């Protein structure tokens, strides 16, 4: 396995561990930011059901009353006992994409 693919695999697996803080993401350091829907599906979708439209282990995100800044802070810092920190896992552009994704959620 080449070095870049190995680093990406390590970052992806580490992002699934509760309480893990992830430093600079290997993929974003070498390529364009990932699509927000893909980030959500592979990182957030484990806890926020139906793409964030329904509560699961985590709350429903559709129609959240949190501000954009509060959403970004929650992603970065997590919530003790509820959500791991993803500090450093996403670029600012990816975080803004996640906020836009959450804001655009509509019932299916």
pLDDT tens digits, 30-69? 456 689 999 999 999 999 999 999 999 999 999 999 999 9
DSSP annotation of 66 reads S
* DSSP output for 12-47: HHHHTSTT----S-HHHHHSPPPPHHHHIIIIITTT
Name residues whose C-beta falls within 8 Å of residue 80's C-beta, 6 or more positions apart in sequence: none
Q: How confident is the model at residue 25 (pLDDT cuts 50, 70, 90)?
A: very low
Distances 25 to 58, 65, 69, 73, 105 between C-alpha atoms, Å: 23, 29, 21, 18, 26
pTM of the model: 0.70
Domains of the chain: 3-103 (1.10.760.10)
């Amino acid at each position: 396995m080449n070095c870049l693919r190995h680093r990406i695999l390590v970052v992806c697996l580490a992002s699934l561990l509760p309480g893990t803080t992830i430093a600079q993401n290997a993929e974003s350091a070498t390529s364009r930011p990932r699509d927000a829907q893909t980030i959500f599906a592979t990182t957030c979708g484990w806890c926020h059901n139906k793409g964030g439209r329904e509560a699961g282990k985590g709350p429903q995100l559709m129609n959240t009353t949190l501000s954009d800044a509060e959403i970004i802070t929650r992603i970065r810092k997590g919530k003790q006992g509820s959500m791991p920190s993803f500090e450093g896992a996403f670029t600012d552009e990816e975080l803004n994409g996640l906020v836009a994704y959450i804001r655009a959620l509509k019932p299916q």
